[in-house]
Amino acid sequence: MAERLRVLVLITDHRWSASALALGMAAQSLAVRGHVVAIGCVAGGPVARAIRERWPRLSVRDVRGDGWWRRASTVRDVVQALRPDAMLVGNDDDAAAAALAMGSRGGVVHRIPLPPDLRPTVDGHADTDVKAQGWRHRTALSRSHVVSWGPAVETVIWPAIAAENATDVESDPPPRLPLAIPHVVLTVPPVHDSPTASALRALGTLHERHPELRVTLVAESVEPLVVPTIQDTRVHAAAVGLAHALDVLSLDQWMDGLGGAATACWIVDGGDAGAFAALAAMHRGIPVIVAAESPLASLVVPLATGLHAPAVLSDLARLIGDVSWHATMSRAAQLRARRHFSSEGMLNELEARLARVASPNSRSSSTASV
């Protein structure tokens, strides 16, 4: 194991989200590796409750106060009490507060979330400007070393997408049992939009050909493991004939393995939520459908590990009817996820970055605790 570090993960979001889930998963994984980890989050908020429910052994420290200055002051108090070697954050304001609190003690790793509307540039890198702007960030950067980890650096967003575009997949996987009932998982954004409507119309048409088809909607929730409302999306699903074929899960439930096997996972929601759902599906051997213009398109090798929307209806129908092709694609998706998008490799990268920004004079002893 790498040298033991004391790490404070700061999440001051006021809602539970895929981005907060990413930081929580990172904290838990670092703790399993033997690092001393604590999470600072808004006292009594959805994030604090979610962290305590999912990972009860992680240390949670309250961050209080309304407004950035008061929260930053609380962060400074937590830093003085815990004396971390490095901090991990997920937004600009938290990066500034962490840097001011850490000072010369250690550095900050800023995980850049994947915006839902992000589009790739011609060179394949994410088109986003993550440089710190404004007086807060200029002041913070002058106090402590802040390293951005995400699309502006190397298109690696833990545990979401990686830059590889390899197509090496096995063509002769072991046979798999066919699904007794065709089942499509559809990840949708909180607000009903045009891509969601297009996907529902396609699934409605597919349901006319396969009345036994089941559709599971997956969406983010304000609270973990709570079924999201997404009322407009459910109304539209009923309008296209899917009312009695529909189930709804939260993203947390899908990540925890609920929903079972599926013919395919259609990613409509962008950002971290879509990336989480896609990788969870691939690791389970479920082919993924994603828009060809999406930054998540690099996850999929078309017609080998999944499909590129929008022209997918005929291929999706073939996946339902062709057991051999579905088994081949399922195995290929699973292999690609394990080889190129493993959480282990991305965690190694995060661990190395935290060690790099930590001050040599503040490294933890083997008996450190929080």
SS (H, E, C) 161-192: ECCCCCCCCCCCCCCCCCCCCCEEEEECCCCC
Q: Look at residues 188, 256, 271 and name the one whose alpha carbon lies nearest to residue 20.
A: 271
* Distance in angstroms (rounded) separating the CA atoms of residues 185 and 246: 10
pLDDT in tens, 336-360: 988 888 778 778 888 988 998 886 6
Average pLDDT of 30-54?
A: 94
**Most confident residue range from 43-47, 201-205, 255-259:** 201-205
pLDDT in tens, 58-108: 999 999 877 888 888 999 999 999 999 999 999 888 988 998 899 888 889
* pLDDT exceeds 70 at position 131: no
Query: pLDDT band for position 159 (50/70/90)?
Result: very low
* pLDDT exceeds 50 at position 208: yes
Query: pLDDT band for position 366 (50/70/90)?
Result: very low
Q: Give the domains, in start order, of the chain with CATH numbers.
A: 6-161+343-362 (3.40.50.2000), 183-340 (3.40.50.2000)
Confidence (pLDDT) at 42: 92
Strands of 36-42's sheet in order across: 59-63, 36-42, 6-11, 86-89, 107-111, 146-149
pLDDT in tens, 275-323: 889 999 999 999 999 999 887 888 899 999 999 998 899 999 999 999 9
pTM over 0.85: no
Q: Work out whether the CA dihedral 9, 12, 14, 18 comes out positive or negative.
A: negative
Looking at the chain, the whole-number percentage of residues with pLDDT higher than 70 is: 79
Q: Strand, helix or coil at 212?
A: coil
Query: pLDDT band for position 254 (50/70/90)?
Result: very high
Confidence (pLDDT) at 1: 52
Where do we find the tokens 């997956």? 218
Where do we find the tokens 């951005």? 148
Confidence (pLDDT) at 265: 97
- Across the chain, mean pLDDT equals 82
What value does the CA radius of gyration of the chain take, rounded to a whole number of Å? 21
Q: Look at residues 120, 126, 133 and name the one whose alpha carbon lies nearest to residue 152.
A: 126
Token duo for residue 179: 């699904």
**Most confident residue range from 125-134, 153-162, 348-357:** 348-357
